Structure 1
Amino acid sequence: MRYFEARKGRIEIIPMIDIMLFLLVFFIMITLRMIPATGISTRLPTSSNAQVLPKTPLVVELRGDGSVRFHDRAVSLTQLEQQLAQNDPSHTQVILAGAKSVTLQQLVAVMDACRHAGISQLGIATRAGPP
């Protein structure tokens, strides 16, 4: 008579947890792809010797129209010099991120403003390109 006893059905929960975890990860990945990446919208020049810096430096952006941006605000060269002078010049790194159309004179003018503020560690942002 044991063979004819009715057994209660069991719901396995472990496979359901696996599926729910997979769906959660899938939706998180899709959501992250839908959020646009924020950053500086410039077309950097390329270099075969591009390196990643270990510390987060201050970024000065030179736009193609001749404007200079620092901390997401348009500044003049004297304002840039004053704001950079507020930092500790011996430990401050400044990266100049310029568009391809920036002239050498504009780059040198910003470098001079950084030097007058006491900044000695300057770099130029580039994209990795073909060797």
Structure 2
Amino acid sequence: MQIVSPRRKRPRLEIIPFIDVMFFLLATFMMVSLAMIKNEGQTVNLPFAKSSSSIERKEKETTITITDKGDIYFNKDQVSIETLPAKIMELKTQDADPRVFLNGDCKATFEKVTAVLDLIRKQGITKIAIQTTKEAKK
């Protein structure tokens, strides 16, 4: 024997949980896409320059970093001032017209930065960008 209910409710589609899931997915994809930004060089406190402008970066570009202690990094690898010309020559053999980003800490000595800049230019690289920030550190 089957008992039939006189008031049969129709199933409802609750939309609020779907909205919650969509916001969660949106936030997740935004965080993942921000994490995919590549930083080729070491993290340093860049100097402040009001006239700085943004440059579109290509897939394969080289960043040479000078830290506040005077350490030199070729992308993520620490190198000495003596081995830097060999690394730059290796870069020139891989790319005929390479672009180099010079990334110097704001507390790095000017002498060290100009020595590295001079080495880069002696190897025949003319596309050199000095990285700065538009906002002053507080």
Class of the TM-score when normalised by the shorter of the 2 chains: 0.7 to 0.9
Number of aligned pairs? 123
Q: Check if 1:102 corresponds to 2:96.
A: no
Q: Find the partner of 2:87 among 80, 83, 87.
A: 83
The whole-number CA distance in structure 2 between the counterparts of 1:10 and 1:67 is: 67
Q: Which residue of 2 aligns with 1:69?
A: 73
Q: Check if 1:119 corresponds to 2:119.
A: no
The whole-number CA distance in structure 1 between the counterparts of 2:83 and 2:100 is: 15
Note the aligned Cα RMSD (angstroms): 3.0
Deviation digits for residues 7-44 of structure 1 (CA, Å, limit 9, x no counterpart): 34313155543332234335x27966xx7x98532111
Instruction: Pick closer, same or farther for the CA change 1:25–1:69 going to 2, 3 Å.
Output: same
- Larger deviation, residues 69-78 vs 88-97: 88-97
- 1:12-31 superposed matches below 5 A: 12=13, 14-26=15-27, 28=28
Secondary structure of the structure 2 residue equivalent to 1:78: coil
Letter in 1 for 2:10: G
> Where in structure 2 are there 5+ consecutive unaligned residues?
none
> Where in structure 1 are there 5+ consecutive unaligned residues?
none
Letter in 2 for 1:102: A
TM-score, structure 2 normalization: 0.71
Q: Which residue of 2 aligns with 1:44?
A: 46
TM-score, structure 1 normalization: 0.74
